[in-house]
Amino acid sequence: MRISILIAAALSVGTASAADPMVGRTKAASACAVCHGPTGMSMMPNAPHLAGQPAIYLVEQLKNYRSGKRTHEVMGVIAKPLTDTEIDDLAAWYSSLQISVQVP
């Protein structure tokens, strides 16, 4: 039983790495940048930063918006037509961006 769980986990990691951050970057420029900024750092107070977020988190939230499990007037419309591959690519792009924090 444990071996099958480990194999399934290893296969899912392999699938996640198939996402293409450069494809996600292109998609983000047309679908996400208006609210979340061209580098995933939002300039709008009501839109979160996406740069540096874990891919697993971004995938889950986009799928929740797409299904209606999580609601937001704009994000519901944006996420509805996204395919799983597009979601994976967007998550790969934003999670590949590195951010740093400077303490004042």
- Reported as a pLDDT band with limits 50, 70 and 90, residue 82 is very high
- Reported as a pLDDT band with limits 50, 70 and 90, residue 4 is very low
Give the mean model confidence (pLDDT) for residues 48-57: 98
The answer to pTM > 0.75 is yes
- The neighbour count for residue 95, using CB atoms within 10 Å, is 23
Question: What pLDDT digit, counting tens, does each position of 85-101 carry?
Answer: 999 999 999 999 999 99
Question: What pLDDT digit, counting tens, does each position of 9-36 carry?
Answer: 444 444 445 999 999 999 999 999 999 9
Question: Domain 20-96, what fold?
Answer: Cytochrome Bc1 Complex; Chain D, domain 2 (1.10.760)
Class of residue 28 by CB neighbours under 10 A (exposed 0-12, middle 13-18, buried 19+): buried
